[in-house]
Amino acid sequence: MDKLVITGGARLSGEVAISGAKNAALPILCACLLSSEPLTLSNVPNLNDIGTMLKLLAQMGVKIEREGDRVTLDASGLDNPLAPYELVKTMRASILVLGPLLARCGEARVSLPGGCAIGARPVDQHIKGLLAMGADIGVDHGYVVAKITDAGGKLKGARLFTDMVTVTGTENLMMAACLADGETVIENAAREPEVVDLAQCLVSMGAQISGAGTDLIRVRGVSRLHAASHRIMPDRIETGTFLCAAAATGGEVWLKGTSTGYLDAVVDKLLDAGCEISGEKTASHESIHLVAPKRLKAVSIRTAPYPAFPTDMQAQFMAINAVAEGTAIIRETIFENRFMHAVELQRLGADIKIDGNTAVMAGVEKLQGATVMATDLRASASLVIAGLVAEGDTHIERIYHLDRGYDHIEAKLTALGAAIRREKA
């Protein structure tokens, strides 16, 4: 099992290219299941979760060609609407095959998924919506088993209201609705940019979708979807993570292929912390430039669904607040078990007090290198940031979490001047 060893103290400086968004690529890969014609994607990140999803699609009968960041998927031979436990146990996004399989094949058998242990993320909203569209769904030995019993073999358009804002739920139902009879209206829909990116891909395939990016999405079902090409949006969480790493080290970086427009809430907080941030956008190029002060000011945050502050950036801000001037309060409102990284940051010398879903932090002058353990994907990123500013060596174990969501993070940080290497634990 690999680990990262970081020698802290280097000021990050230079430029780095941001990869395509994992959280956009995963549902868009699943969209290939809706058509018998090829879907070609570019800017696909090289991540463990992407590899797992491609294996999952391949065992269903999807032909896959991959070269660099370009992937072509041909689901004309789709013949096995099954998502087995062995392939989905590490990746919650696997539930995203449920809607497309049901819409295209009339049936699906999908193992209840795994992923990061950051709290309950139930799939009941997915099931509730598909039931309203006419599916017959049950749970059998850990598998969601779904069938369309209607004689026509198609889902029916319906008015759906999710009890909570759910990104994967919105994506699953939107994909299922593309081939349903009639119009489907999804109320209380997630507004994340990744939902918009999926909708844009589906529209390029011939779907009729309006309202993506708002809390009410309308989908008019069509008889078939056709071949298309689509470029995956830049990863806004990777973008935010590198901004935080540069900010914590007092650095200056240019992030290529990404935009501040995806990260308004994060950028606002970094500005409050004392950073200077500017964006550049032309017809063929976009980038972000950050200049950090010698020491950051502590900033309080409260996570909430988009466009508010993202829960996937909470851990990274806990890391920068650990060495910022002043006291900050962090409130996590999305997941009930997403402060596990706090204990590991305390091992590095951070002053953090946890009370339920609230963390109170008093910034310290210095962190000290130690051996820490990654507990989930974004917790891993927070430990990397902390290691970059800690005195001495920080050893981060269980970095398989990190590899699920960051494309060659140590190589990119090395290019910015960090002293970081991968070793076998």
- Quickly list H helices, 307-419: 314-322, 340-347, 377-389, 400-403, 409-415
First to last CA, the chain: 5
Alpha carbon distance 362, 241 (integer Å): 21
- Active site annotation includes 105: no
Q: Please name which of 45, 201, 78, 115 lies closest in space to residue 375, comparing C-alpha atoms.
A: 115
Scanning the structure block, which residue is given the tokens 């690999």?
Answer: 2
Alpha carbon distance 251, 323 (integer Å): 14
3 state DSSP class of 232: coil
Scanning the structure block, which residue is given the tokens 């060495």?
Answer: 323
Token code pair at residue 161: 């209201």
3 state DSSP class of 52: helix
Residue type at 90?
A: T
User: Are the beta carbons of 367 and 389 closer than 8 angstroms?
Assistant: yes
Alpha carbon distance 32, 159 (integer Å): 25
User: Are the beta carbons of 13 and 418 closer than 8 angstroms?
Assistant: no
Buried b (16+ CB within 10 A) or exposed e, 58-92: eebebeeeeeebebbbbbeebeebbbeeebbbbbb
Active-site annotation holder among 32, 116, 201, 275: 116
Alpha carbon distance 425, 423 (integer Å): 6
Task: List active site positions.
Answer: 116
